[in-house]
Structure formats: structure tokens, C-alpha cells
């Protein structure tokens, strides 16, 4: 079969396409950071996970050490069970603290691991007992409003009391004098 | 007289409607015939290679140049809005997601319909007008497996390749505007992009989209050419219809595919 220039051009075209796809996969997409290699999985229970999603990063000291594998709901304890896939190269003590943080003010949520001081390390299938829930913005705002609301009535009440005592004093102080003056004057 | 003209209007609308339905059915039948008689376009692959050259390689320049400008405009417009919220580093994500998810497949398909689809329609329409297709049938050569199927598969192969090239060149164009021209940090540009563009959900779905557009655009172009009245006006109006129908089909299909893909 003889080769033609058309074959050459189509070959170049296909090669360019494959190169662009590889470029998209490696440089643009997160295919490279996706495969962490060998992992072990630990679980953590949270009362509220906020907006945490599967495949969210698990970070320790800001370094990605794993990913959230899946999130399920435990109907017995009414808690969220988060399955974490952690890179096998990194080991964490048994009393590691798992927090749900938010990247930036409105960014994606991730799990931050803070290592404890235990001698025993977490093994595959273990459970992280010390967890801290996600900060839910609505909860924070409502708490703030509640605190504000509980402060305000005290102030207004004390102001009202002081005002009433003042007016009472005035009433008490002024009227007898007037009464005293009136009979005296004529 | 009034009744007559109203009746005439009614008849015209009905005729147009039945024509559309008839053409839809004929197009579907041609699609099916193309699929079942496409064995030859793979056995004699050089037929398909030749068509990949005419539809894909010849469309490279328009795809690359327009991708470059689309990427640059995206970066400029995106920066203008993002810097108001103090998040101009997210410009890489914006450019990449917009290109990979939507603009890449859709603009590639629209350009493909204009550049390659019209050529296919005109070529086949002229083949029909000059009775080359009838001559093939006389020689017991099926024009569908010899003419239609290689062009169909060439379009289906070429479109995803053009799409990934469009995305890549567009992102490079966006990079050129964002980093050297505006002064966004290069590391933030790429790292935010990598953190937020998913391989399967974004890139692979975009490629699937463009493959579907490739099937739609090529099939519409082939059908319009095959169905064209064998006259000069017939071929010219068929070419026009190719662009109109392909563009509408691409945009409609894009909505349908996106609604599937987003819900996953």
C-alpha cells in the first residue's frame, strides 16, 4: 500500500488530537492528582457535614493526603458517616482530630486532619472519634441574631425602668411642691 | 375568495408539516442504512482517511484561529467581572470550564457545519445532479457504502479531535491574555484550573458531546446533499438548509445532553 500526503496530514491531525486530549487531561484536568496510589480508608462521624461532597480533598497541614470516598447517613445515630481514603504513605495517630473546613469564605469544603499525640496509628477501617462539624452559615447568623436579641431586651428594659423611676420621681417630687406652693401663694 | 385563500394557507401549512415529517423519516432511514452499510468504510479505511483529511484537517485552521480568539475574549471578559469580587485567580477555571463544557463542543460543531458540512452537502448534491450516484448504482456499487458512509465516519472521527484541539488552543489563548497581558499569577491560573476541572465529568463529557454533534452535523449534511433536488438551485438551498438545521440541532442537542450530564 502506497503512502500518500493525505495519510501524513491525517496522521498529524490525529496525533495533534491525542496530544490535545493528553494536555487537557494532565494540564487542565485533575487526572494526575486523582490517583493517590495505595490508600487505606477510615471513617468519621459528623453531626452535620454542611456542603461536603464525595471526592472532596482531605488535607493535613494544607497538603492533600486523601479524598472523601463516600458519604452515607446512619439512621441509628442520625449522623453522617464519611468514608475517607487516605494515602498509604501517611499515617495518623489514633486521636487525630477531623474538622470540616471551608476554603475561603464561600469556597469548597474539605476535611482537615489535625494529628494528635497518640502512639497507636490509625489502621484501615478505623474510626476517627474526635470530629468537628461544618460551620453552617445560617446557624452562625441565627446564633448571632439570637445573641443580639437576648442582649437588647435587657437594655431596653433597664432604660424603661430608669425612665419610669425618673418620671415617678418627677411626679412625686414636683406635685407635692406645687401642691405646697398653691395653698401658700394666695 | 377569502375562504379560498384561507384554505390555501391551511393547505400550505399542512404540506410543509408533512414534508418535514417525511424528511425526518427519510433522514432516519438514511442514518440506519449508513450504519448497516458502513463495513466497507472500515475495510477500505483509506476512503475514510481521505474524508478525514477533507473534513478534519482542512477545518484545522478555522478551528484553531477561532479557538484562540474565543479563549482570549473569555479571559478578558472573565477578568473584568472576576476582579470586582477579588477572585481574578479563578480566571483559569472560568476559561477552562467554559471551553471544555460548552464552548468547545458547540462552537466547534457550528464551525464544522459551516466549513465541512456545507462542503459535504454541495459535493454530494452535485454528485447527484451530475448523476454520478446513479452511475454507481448502475455499476452495482452502493453509493451509500462508497460515498455516504466514509464521509459519515470521517465526520464522527474528526469532530471530537477538533473539539479537544479547540479547547486546548482556547485555554492557551486565555493563558496568554490572563498571565502575560493582565498579570494573573501563572501558578494560580493552572492550579485552580486543575483543582476544579474534572477529568470525567468535564473533559470526557465534552468529548462525548462533540461526538454526538459530529453524528448530527455530518448526518444532516449528508442527508441534505443526498436529498437535494438535482438542480443548481436545489443544491444551493440544500447547502443553506444544512447550516440552518445543523446549527439548530447542535444547540438543541446541547441543551438535552447538558441536562443529562449535569444531573449525573
Cβ neighbours of residue A49 under 8 Å, at least 6 residues apart? A71, A80, A82, A100, A109, A133, A134
Please indicate, yes or no, whether residues A106 and A43 belong to a single structural domain of this protein: yes
pLDDT for B35-48, tens place per residue?
998 888 888 888 89
Q: 198-217 in B: which are within 8 Å (CB) of A?
A: 198-199, 202-203, 207
Cβ atoms of B117 and B217 within 8 Å: the answer is: yes
Sorting pLDDT into bands at 50, 70 and 90, what band is A1? low
Query: Per-residue pLDDT tens for B58-103?
Result: 999 999 999 999 999 999 999 988 888 877 878 888 999 999 999 9
Grid cell of B24 as nine digits: 425526518
Q: Are residue A105 and residue A163 in the same domain, yes or no? A: no
pLDDT band at A173 (very low <50, low <70, confident <90, very high): very low
B60 backbone φψ class: left, alpha, beta (φ>0; ψ -120 to 50): alpha
Q: Which of A28, A67, A107, A108 to mutate to test the interface with B (most CBs of B within 10 A)?
A: A28
| Cβ pair A10:B57 closer than 8 A | yes
- Provide φ and ψ at B125, rounded to 5°: -60, -40
ipTM: 0.77
> Residue A181 domain-assigned?
no
Residues A28 and A86 in one domain: no
Domain boundaries, chain B: 37-263
Question: Are residues A53 and A90 located together in one domain of the fold?
Answer: yes
**Chain B environment of A28 (Cβ under 8 Å):** 96, 100, 167-168, 171, 193-194, 197, 203
Same domain for A153 and A78: no
pLDDT value for A175: 46
**pLDDT average, residue stretch A141-168:** 67
Residues A4 and A61 reside in one and the same domain = no
Q: Is A180 a member of any domain?
A: no
- Residue A21: list chain B partners with CB under 8 A: 164, 203, 207
Phi, psi of A99 (to 5 degrees): -115, 150
Please give the pLDDT value at position A137: 76
Best interface-test mutation with A: which of B44, B45, B51, B52 has the largest number of A CBs within 10 A? Answer: B52
Whether A128 and A48 share a structural domain: yes
- Share the mean pLDDT of chain B: 91
B96 chain-A contacts, CB cut-off 8 A: 28
Let me know if residue A186 belongs to a domain: no
pLDDT tens readout for residues A42-83: 999 888 888 787 778 888 888 888 888 888 999 999 989 999
Verify whether the Cβ–Cβ distance A25 to B203 is below 8 Å: yes
> Domain range for residue A45?
35-135
Amino acid at each position: 500500500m502506497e503512502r500518500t500526503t493525505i495519510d501524513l496530514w491525517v496522521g498529524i491531525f490525529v496525533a495533534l488530537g491525542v496530544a490535545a486530549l493528553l494536555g487537557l487531561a494532565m494540564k487542565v484536568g485533575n487526572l494526575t492528582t486523582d490517583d493517590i496510589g495505595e490508600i487505606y480508608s477510615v471513617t468519621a462521624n459528623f453531626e452535620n457535614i454542611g456542603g461536603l461532597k464525595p471526592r472532596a480533598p482531605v488535607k493535613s497541614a494544607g497538603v492533600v493526603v486523601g479524598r472523601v470516598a463516600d458519604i452515607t447517613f446512619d439512621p441509628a445515630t442520625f449522623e453522617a458517616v464519611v468514608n475517607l481514603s487516605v494515602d498509604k504513605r501517611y499515617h495518623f495517630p489514633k486521636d487525630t482530630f477531623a474538622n470540616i473546613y471551608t476554603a475561603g469564605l464561600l469556597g469548597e469544603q474539605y476535611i482537615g486532619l489535625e494529628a494528635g499525640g497518640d502512639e497507636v496509628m490509625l489502621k484501615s477501617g478505623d474510626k476517627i472519634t474526635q470530629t468537628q462539624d461544618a460551620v453552617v452559615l445560617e446557624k452562625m447568623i441565627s446564633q448571632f441574631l439570637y445573641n443580639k436579641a437576648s442582649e437588647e431586651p435587657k437594655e431596653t428594659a433597664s432604660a424603661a425602668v430608669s425612665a419610669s423611676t425618673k418620671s415617678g420621681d418627677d411626679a412625686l417630687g414636683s406635685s407635692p411642691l406645687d401642691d405646697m406652693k398653691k395653698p401658700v401663694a394666695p | 375568495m377569502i375562504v379560498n385563500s384561507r384554505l390555501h394557507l391551511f393547505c400550505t401549512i399542512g404540506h410543509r408539516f408533512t414534508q418535514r415529517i417525511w424528511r425526518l423519516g427519510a433522514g432516519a432511514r438514511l442514518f440506519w442504512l449508513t450504519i448497516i452499510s458502513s463495513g466497507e468504510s472500515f475495510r477500505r479505511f483509506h476512503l475514510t482517511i481521505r474524508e478525514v483529511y477533507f473534513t478534519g484537517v482542512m477545518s484545522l485552521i478555522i478551528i484553531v484561529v477561532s479557538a484562540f480568539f474565543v479563549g482570549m475574549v473569555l479571559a478578558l471578559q472573565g477578568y473584568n467581572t472576576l476582579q470586582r469580587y477579588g477572585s481574578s485567580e479563578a480566571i483559569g477555571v472560568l476559561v477552562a470550564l467554559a471551553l471544555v463544557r460548552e464552548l468547545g463542543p458547540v462552537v466547534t460543531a457550528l464551525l464544522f457545519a459551516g466549513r465541512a458540512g456545507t462542503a459535504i452537502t454541495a459535493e454530494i448534491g452535485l454528485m447527484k445532479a451530475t448523476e454520478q450516484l446513479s452511475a454507481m448504482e448502475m455499476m452495482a456499487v452502493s453509493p451509500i457504502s462508497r460515498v455516504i458512509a466514509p464521509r459519515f465516519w470521517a465526520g464522527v472521527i474528526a469532530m471530537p479531535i477538533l473539539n479537544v484541539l479547540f479547547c486546548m488552543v482556547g485555554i492557551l489563548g486565555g493563558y496568554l491574555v490572563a498571565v502575560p497581558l493582565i498579570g494573573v499569577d501563572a501558578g494560580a491560573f493552572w492550579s485552580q484550573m486543575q483543582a476544579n476541572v474534572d477529568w470525567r465529568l468535564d473533559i470526557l463529557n465534552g468529548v462525548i458531546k462533540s461526538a454526538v454533534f459530529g453524528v448530527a452535523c455530518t448526518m444532516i449534511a449528508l442527508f441534505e446533499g443526498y436529498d437535494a433536488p438535482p438542480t443548481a438551485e436545489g443544491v444551493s438551498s440544500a447547502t443553506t438548509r444544512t447550516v440552518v438545521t445543523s446549527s439548530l440541532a447542535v444547540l438543541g442537542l446541547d441543551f438535552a445532553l447538558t441536562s443529562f450530564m449535569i444531573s449525573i
